[in-house]
């Protein structure tokens, strides 16, 4: 699922004859092993972490009103655990803005470089 695309994706798989491994071709907005696209996850994280909304309010803001609580917690926890490393990696592209914590700083940096849309 994505902001502009809510249908099923039929993933094409190809077999490499040399190494006998399967290769998949995904659209640009699709993440491996994820049902939701970057834009929806970003909308949710911005509403929850920058906006300070509840999990349900953030899910509604991301156009996912029936999203399970566990998935919400997983996204928030995973982003929080990697925010410091993300800020360090993005510092090569943009000067870090002043923010109260690494989570806010990482989201602001992602918005400023155009990786995720500003809310």
Domain that includes residue 103, residue range:
31-112
Q: Measuring CA to CA, how many Å separate 92 from each of 51, 88, 89, 99, 113?
A: 26, 8, 6, 18, 11
The answer to whether residue 75 is domain-embedded is: yes
Whether 51 contacts 58, CB under 8 Å:
yes
With a pLDDT cut of 90, the percent of the chain lying above it is 25
Q: How many domains does the chain have?
A: 1
The answer to whether residue 26 is domain-embedded is: no
Q: 63-81: per-residue pLDDT in tens?
A: 888 888 898 899 999 999 9
What is this structure's pTM? 0.73
Whether 119 contacts 50, CB under 8 Å:
yes
């Amino acid at each position: 699922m994505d902001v502009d695309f809510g249908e099923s994706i039929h993933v094409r798989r190809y077999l490499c004859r040399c190494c006998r491994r399967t290769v998949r071709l995904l659209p640009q907005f699709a993440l491996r092993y994820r049902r939701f696209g970057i834009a929806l996850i970003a909308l949710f994280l911005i509403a929850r972490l920058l906006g300070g909304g509840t999990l349900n309010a953030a899910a509604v803001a991301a156009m996912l009103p029936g999203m399970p609580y566990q998935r919400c917690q997983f996204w928030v926890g995973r982003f929080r655990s990697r925010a410091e490393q993300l800020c360090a990696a993005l510092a090569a592209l943009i000067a870090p803005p002043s923010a109260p914590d690494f989570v806010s700083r990482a989201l602001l940096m992602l918005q400023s470089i155009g990786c995720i849309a500003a809310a």
